[in-house]
């Protein structure tokens, strides 16, 4: 797939694509900044009607990075292309769930920063991410 149409991008944001196509667009959004900008513009232009695409996106928590990914993001230990995508998700999509996770992990990181060496800090941040993941899995 060389060209992603606007319709495909909108269908992607509405989760209306078949899984394999959706996955390939998601992959390309992570890697290609021009595509992210185009989606950003599309989302902006479609801010009409009862429920905007960005609201649907937020509502469905589409493409949310995991909590452990946000842990890595806070520690600046994540590969830069994915970090760009995560920033897009946070700033442009305005995902309130990820914003909350990000704020919490950043606060934790600051606390540990005052108490511990950086190695111990990273370990604890990983632990708190892992505990959350485990408890979430157990509840399902």
Interacting residue ranges for Zn ion, rule: CB under 5 A? 64, 95, 97-98
> Buried b vs exposed e over 13-23: b needs ≥16 C-beta within 10 Å?
beeebeeeebe
Phi, psi of 33 (to 5 degrees): -65, -40
Nearer to Zn ion, 39 or 95 (CB): 95
CB 1 → Zn ion: shortest distance, Å? 25
Quote the CA–CA distance of 88 and 39 in Å, as a whole number: 10
Nearer to Zn ion, 4 or 98 (CB): 98
Nearer to Zn ion, 38 or 94 (CB): 94
26, two tokens: 């998601």
Burial (CB < 10 A; 0-12, 13-18, 19+), residue 93, is buried
CB 119 → Zn ion: shortest distance, Å? 29
Nearer to Zn ion, 28 or 58 (CB): 58
72, two tokens: 């890595």
Residue pair 11/43 in contact by the 8 Å Cβ criterion: no
């Amino acid at each position: 797939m060389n060209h992603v149409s606007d319709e495909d991008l909108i269908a992607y944001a509405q989760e209306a694509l078949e899984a394999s196509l959706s996955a390939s667009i998601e992959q390309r959004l992570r890697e290609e900044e021009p595509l992210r900008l185009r989606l950003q513009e599309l989302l902006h232009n479609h801010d009409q009607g009862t429920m905007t695409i960005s609201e649907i996106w937020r509502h469905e928590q589409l493409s949310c990075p995991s909590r452990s990914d946000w842990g890595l993001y806070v520690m600046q230990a994540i590969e830069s292309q994915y970090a760009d995508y995560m920033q897009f998700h946070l700033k442009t999509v305005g995902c309130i769930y990820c914003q909350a996770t990000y704020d919490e992990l950043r606060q934790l990181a600051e606390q540990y920063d005052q108490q511990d060496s950086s190695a111990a800090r990273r370990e604890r941040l990983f632990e708190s991410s892992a505990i959350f993941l485990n408890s979430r899995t157990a509840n399902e």
